[in-house]
Amino acid sequence: MIIVYTLSAMRRVLLLVLLLPTLSLAADAEFQLSIRNHQFEPAELHVPAGKRIKLTVVNRDPTPEEFESYELHREKLIPGNTSGIVYIGPLEPGRYPFFGDFHPKTTTGVVVAE
């Protein structure tokens, strides 16, 4: 009986240890960015500094667009009328510009980490 209890307790501890990395991923700050009429909405996205960010990019246009940033080291193609996930950070406080590669003059924005 004592051995069974000990094995059960060990299984619980092992399960907790295995789930801890998953729980920390669930703590990511989540934000959404839309592409509409070849423009990012909002064009200026404020996020907390020092946190990993899960950014959902929703393309509401029928044509594809990219989320691209040299400063964030990210490039993600978002087909028309779909969405994609981009992970960024943790970021130091500052401004991180991004753009759409297919319409770089109008599809621009900045992530502001504060």
Judge whether residue 2 has pLDDT over 70: no
* DSSP 8-state assignment for residue 28: S
Non-local (6+) Cβ contacts of 11 within 8 A are none
Cα distance from N-terminal residue to C-terminal residue, the chain: 55
Q: Is the pLDDT of residue 108 over 70?
A: yes
Fold adopted by 29-113: Immunoglobulin-like (2.60.40)
Query: Averaged over 8-33, what is the pLDDT?
Result: 67
At residue 94 the predicted structure's pLDDT band, cuts being 50, 70 and 90, is: very high
pLDDT of residue 19: 58
- DSSP letter assigned to residue 51: S
Structure tokens at 106: 């109008």
Q: Quote helix, strand, coil % in the chain, to nearest 5.
A: 20, 45, 35
Q: Above 70 in pLDDT, residue 5?
A: no
**Residue 91 clears pLDDT 90, i.e. is over it:** yes
Among 7-16, 25-34, 42-51, 72-81, where is mean pLDDT lowest?
7-16
The one-character DSSP state at 45 is: E
φ and ψ of 10, to 5 deg: -65, -40
Laid out side by side, the sheet with 94-99 consists of 44-47, 108-113, 94-99, 65-69, 74-78
Provide mean pLDDT across the span 83-94: 98
**36-71 pLDDT per residue, tens:** 999 999 999 999 999 999 999 999 999 999 999 999
Tell me the domain boundaries of the chain.
Answer: 29-113
CA angle 29, 36, 92 (to 5 degrees): 30
